[in-house]
Chains A and B, each alone.
Chain A
Amino acid sequence: MTQAYLDSIKAVQPSLPGNQFPWLANVRQAAAARFAATGFPGRKDEAFKYADLKALEKTPFVAKPVAPASVGDLPWIDIPGARLAFVDGQFRADLSSDLSDYAKPLSAALADDEQAIKAQLDASSDGSALAQLNLAMASDGLVLRVPENADAGTIQVLFLSSGATAKAAAHISSVIHLESGAKATLIERSLGVGSEDYWANAVSTIRLERGAALTHNCWQSDSNVAMATGLTRVSVDGEAQYNRFTLSTGAASARSEIRVHVEGSDADVQLSGVQLGRARQVLDTVTYLRHDIGHSTSNQTYRSVVDDNARTAFSGKVYVERDAQKTDAQQSSRNLLLARTAEADTKPELEIYADDVQCAHGATVGELDKKALFYLASRGVSPEEARAILVQAFVADVIEGIDIEPVRDAYLKATQNWLMAQL
């Protein structure tokens, strides 16, 4: 199957944005070569232990999507700021608005100043075969560059898959760079509208310089036949803050990997997420947090709710380098099973070489509290509503940590809708 992907790379590369720049063509070719050498990761690959990527190998997702002219109203969250829409991996100016100087599609950013993003793309050679395929054939993405001490405000991005062509693939590559003291809020959502299966494969490379602060909220709501894979790489300098929340409700099979390198002291990294799985969905979250320098904090809070025959997984690794003294790294993974046939896997992992650190993890897997269910029933609450109220309570503490009200409300509503669809 690898060959079909390689053929597809060859076919699309000439049309990719910026391919006229030799350095970028080289980066893409090298990525294709690395993919050819490894092929897709298997279950034996620890980071892919719980993911279900069989579909990608079974029949290649290499079709060129034919985006429909009209995709209907896009579900923007009502919040001021720039709005960028991508449909089937292509930026759509007609669906975007209030573009900011800081946020552009990759295609435009390469045309404007290809050198500005060279360093970050050049350095993106690590990562799995999925990341290599992305690097080799990403058709577009978001470029967000915020200069020193500037505030880019809120940037909302929608990645829509039309689902009009079976086995279509959209590889999205985003490059985000906040210079020293810069600020931005990035709100992303991926979604699918059609009925055909597709593969959305997104890679974001984020660099936060000293004192920069990025709030990053993502919602994976791809269609229930989709494959949705994502990798976010973040380098965090001293005093910088990366605050990430991920809601994962969609896709037949989803995998989200977040890799954060803390490269300075007094940095703060907050990773949190909620996965809601049902039917036969497989939702997998993998985090890797590396503290190279001490006196920084990281906090991970993940919740999964699993029903039917669905499976969710969370694997979180924290690595603390020998010199990273006074690191404070916390991790919590709690999982709620709504059916005996559902499965939740959680795998915390700590690898610590410094001796003066505060690192802790907690993981639980449980069912709804029967006493609470009876208590609610004894007050007149129907079993369906009782279940909904308890599930909402289970995920609420994480979602309520989002301090942008319209985003928080949108995610709470999404949770509610998910629960209602269960009834």
Chain B
Amino acid sequence: MLKITDLHVSVEDKEILKGLSLDIPAGQVHAIMGPNGAGKSTLGYALSGRDGYEITAGSIELDGQDLLELEPHERAAEGLFLGLQYPVEIPGVSNMNFLRTAMNSIRKYKGEEDISAGDFLKLIRAKAKDLGMDAEMLKRSVNVGFSGGEKKRNEMVQMAVLDPRMMVLDETDSGLDIDALKVVSDGINAMRGADKATLLITHYQRLLDYVKPDVVHVLAGGTIVKSGGPELALALEKDGYAAIAA
């Protein structure tokens, strides 16, 4: 589903990713692990097309479509979702309004009609309930005054409502207590399916106890240095990145 080939990314003229290749077939969950500064977050931003992340070489394809030709909102409309490590607060814009605008933008891109107010309300309430988010929070400004766990939960609600096919989750587990981690994991697992794929970007093995990956990759020095099964994550946890990446 997602095919990354020899990707080179520079930020402020400094090369961060130096020829990263990755192939994630539909139906699979891959995890990318790596030490701080390995380029994990850069990968997420480069995939979503954020300003300032310059692709100097390589390609990114989503089901054969060249993502590099698309703007960030077009990539999202094509079914790419980036869960942020630090979800942004937007004062004055309610979660409802945010998601409804997003949903209708995506529909417009696909040439579909806007979702009716009633259908939208039903959908968002159901998804919030599944993920244990209080319906009152939907009326509040996006992430304003939310705890770290609530922000991540909100990311999961957004993901569930927008129903992407390719999910890239950047450190979604960071800063979560064990209960919040379970909620988030349930959210990710609920989105697994034969026509979907997930890329978990994480520093710790902990999340992988709850979301079983099919393949684990180790990112170091801007490239994938090792790939393997879930046991690779356990080895990393035990021996540290230095031993594996060496």
Contacts and interface: CB of A to CB of B under 8 A. Distances in A.
Whether chains A and B associate is: yes
B158 A390 contact: no
B84 interface: yes
A72 B87 CA distance: 50
B140 interface: no
A374 B170 CA distance: 15
Interface string A362-397: 000000011110111111111101100110111011
A73 B71 CA distance: 43
B93 A393 contact: yes
B71 A389 contact: no
A378 B82 contact: yes
Interface string B95-126: 00111011101100100000000000000000
Nearest to B93: A393
B181 interface: no
Interface in B65-91: 71-73, 76-77, 81-82, 84, 87-88, 90-91
Contacts of B88: 369, 371-372, 374-375
Given A374-B51, A375-B84, A389-B97, A380 B76 contact: yes
Contacts of B76: 377-380
Nearest to B99: A379
A380 B73 contact: yes
Contacts of A381: 73, 101-102, 105
Contacts of A377: 49, 71-73, 76
B102 A379 contact: yes
Interface in A389-413: 389-390, 392-394, 396-397
23 contacts: A372-B90, A375-B87, A375-B90, A375-B142, A376-B73, A378-B50, A378-B73, A378-B84, A379-B73, A380-B77, A380-B102, A380-B106, A381-B105, A382-B105, A383-B71, A385-B105, A386-B73, A392-B92, A392-B93, A393-B90, A393-B92, A393-B141, A396-B92
Interface of B: 48-51, 71-73, 76-77, 81-82, 84, 87-88, 90-93, 97-99, 101-103, 105-106, 109, 141-142, 158, 162
Interface of A: 369-372, 374-383, 385-386, 389-390, 392-394, 396-397
